[in-house]
Structure 1
Amino acid sequence: MEDLNTAKQRTHKLMLTNRRTCTISGVSDVLSFDIKEVLLETDQGMLMIKGGDLHVSRLTLDKGEVDIDGKIDSLTYSEVTGYGGKGESLFSRLFK
């Protein structure tokens, strides 16, 4: 039982270089992305990245890794518990 909890909880790491390149690990899901905003579900909560000309350059959900390039203006975390269960749609989780 202890191994299941350890496997589920990966290490969450965020490395930002010159506000242009961001490497993130511990990502469970990419909920949405466009050139102004990327919304990620991480093991430490929801992560919203805002900026300009944002691109998801590498996405490996098996390993839980995402690379984002562009001008990064803000990184905002919020708790996962406020967004409901996995069975809900993206919009119902975002607009609660």
Structure 2
Amino acid sequence: MPELQRTIKKHSLTIDGREKLTATGIKRVDFFSDELITAQTDLGQLNIKGEALHIETLNSETGDMLVSGKVAAVSYTESNPAMSFFGRLFK
């Protein structure tokens, strides 16, 4: 059987004057508030912290996202595949 290869979306991040953040390669947004936005990329979870954050545009087909507000910090968390109950038990 041929192996299925998953294509990785190209991911980029641009911050303009800490007031506008443009990200590409966004798979989905998991959480958003005016102080925190968490989004999934193929490279891990993207965490955006700040004040008065607002998602201006989010295109699920292209993976483009535009955020406005005062950006204070951006970080990534490695995303590991979710383990089953027995996988966690026998870890």
Structure 1 residue 3: Cα displacement:
8.7
Three-state SS of the structure 2 residue aligned to 1:63 is coil
Question: How far is the alpha carbon of 1:4 from its aligned partner?
Answer: 4.5
Percentage of identical aligned residues:
28
* Bigger Rg over Cα: 2
**Residue-pair matches, total:** 82
RMSD: 1.9
Instruction: State the partner residue of 1:28.
Output: 27
**Stretches of structure 1 lacking an aligned partner (at least 5 in a row):** 86-96
Is 1:17 aligned to 2:16, yes or no? yes
CA distance, structure 2, for counterparts of residue 69 and residue 2 of structure 1: 41
**Richer in helix (by share):** 1
* TM-score, with structure 2 as normaliser: 0.82
TM-score by length of 1: 0.78
CA distance in 2, matches of 1:9, 1:2: 15
